């Protein structure tokens, strides 16, 4: 990676996030395994502080525009004016990005950000419609199927099986007088 990897890692790994943040920060060398929430924490809370004395001011200001753009689009309540402001900020970021990083780094993914304010206005904030809010639910469903063939049938069958097990556990809980078994069954069901 770069000459600042060690410094960035040290800063990332020493961060203590407030309660409510489900993931601790990991090494920047593991970034290809980061989950959406890890990227959000870095973008919203850590990037500016970690990079403020590493990036030249032009790059830091450009990053700050992107952070503000995304933060606007993640608000709980968002107005049309907010969306328009976000688009103006992104246009400014986008123009600077090309000058700073070159046309070869102007990817489709970057271009798709131009459409985000309109999508947020139509469907709600990014925090409600992006992968961030669903990411932790994937672990509950990933064991319901294997491979790519008939996955919908596998999911339906396994969900039905789980439901049958829950019904049987509830029946067992009602038939027993043992409080330890009742607690254990309650733990398994909920």
pLDDT tens, position by position, 139-167:
666 677 777 788 788 888 878 888 888 88
pLDDT at 59: 94
pLDDT at 186: 75
pLDDT at 133: 54
pLDDT at 1: 56
Which two three-digit tokens encode residue 80? Answer: 């049309």
Per the model's pLDDT, the better-predicted residue between 19 and 131 turns out to be 19
**0.85 exceeded by pTM:** no
> Domain residues of the chain, as ranges?
5-135, 145-189
**Mean pLDDT score, 60-85:** 93
pLDDT at 142: 67
Mean pLDDT of the chain: 84
pLDDT tens, position by position, 166-187:
888 888 888 888 887 777 777 7
pLDDT at 116: 93
Q: Is the Cβ–Cβ distance between 7 and 54 less than 8 Å?
A: yes
pLDDT tens, position by position, 112-123:
999 999 999 998
pLDDT at 72: 94
- The confidence band for 104, taking pLDDT boundaries of 50, 70 and 90, is very high
pLDDT tens, position by position, 22-66:
667 888 888 888 887 788 888 888 888 889 889 999 999 999 999
Specify the range with the lowest mean pLDDT, choosing from 37-41, 92-96, 97-101, 127-131. 127-131
């Amino acid at each position: 990676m770069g000459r600042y990897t060690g410094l960035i890692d040290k800063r990332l790994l020493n961060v203590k996030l407030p309660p409510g943040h489900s993931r601790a920060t990991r090494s920047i060398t593991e970034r290809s395994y980061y989950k959406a929430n890890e990227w959000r924490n870095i973008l919203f809370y850590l990037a500016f502080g970690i990079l403020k004395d590493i990036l030249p001011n032009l790059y830091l200001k450009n990053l700050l525009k992107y952070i503000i753009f995304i933060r606007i689009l993640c608000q709980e309540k968002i107005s049309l004016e907010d969306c328009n402001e976000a688009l103006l900020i992104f246009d400014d970021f986008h123009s600077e990005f090309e000058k700073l990083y070159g046309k070869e780094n102007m990817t489709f993914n970057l271009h798709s950000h131009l459409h985000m304010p309109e999508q947020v206005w139509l469907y709600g904030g990014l925090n409600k419609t992006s992968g961030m809010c669903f990411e932790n639910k994937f672990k509950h469903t990933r064991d319901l199927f294997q491979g790519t063939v008939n996955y919908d049938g596998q999911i339906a069958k396994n969900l039905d099986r789980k439901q049958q097990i829950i019904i049987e556990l509830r029946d067992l809980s009602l038939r027993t007088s043992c409080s330890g078994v009742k607690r254990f069954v309650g733990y398994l069901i909920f």
